Chain A
Amino acid sequence: MTDLATRPAPAPVVEKTRSSKERWVRRAPLLPALIFAIIVTQLPFLVTLYLSTQGWNALRPGQREFVGLDNYVTVLTDTRLRAALMNTVLLTAGAVIFSLILGLVLAILLDRKFLGRGIVRTLLITPFLVMPIAAALLWKHAIYNPTYGLINGLFGGSTDWVSSYPKAAVIATLVWQWTPFMMLILLAGLQSQSHEVIEAARVDGANAWQIFRRMTIPHLRQYLELGALLGSIYLVNTFDAVFTITQGGPGTATTNLPYEIYLTMFRKFEYGEASAAGVIVVILTIIVATFALRVISGLFKVEANR
Chain B
Amino acid sequence: MKKELFSDFLIKYAEIGIKGRNRYMFEDALVARIKSSLENIDGSFRVYKTPGRIFVSAESEFDFDEVVDALSHVFGIVGICPVVRLEKDTPESLYESVVSYMKEMYGDELCAKGATGESCVKILKERGLNAESPKDALSNDNFGKVKWQEALPSINRGKDDTISFKIFARRESRNFPLDSMELNVEVGEAVLNAFPGLKVDVHHPEMIVYVEIRDKIYLYSEILPGPGGMPVGTGGHAMLLLSGGIDSPVAGYMMAKRGVTIDAVYFHAPPYTSERALQKVVDLAKIISKYTGPINMHVINFTDIQLAIYEKCPHDELTIIMRRYMMRIAEHLAEKSGALALVTGESVGQVASQTLASLVCTNEVCSLPVLRPLICFDKQDIVEISEKIGTYETSILPFEDCCTIFVAKHPVTKPLRSVIEKHEHNLDEVIDDLLEKAYETDRVIEIR
Q: Do A and B come from one complex?
A: no
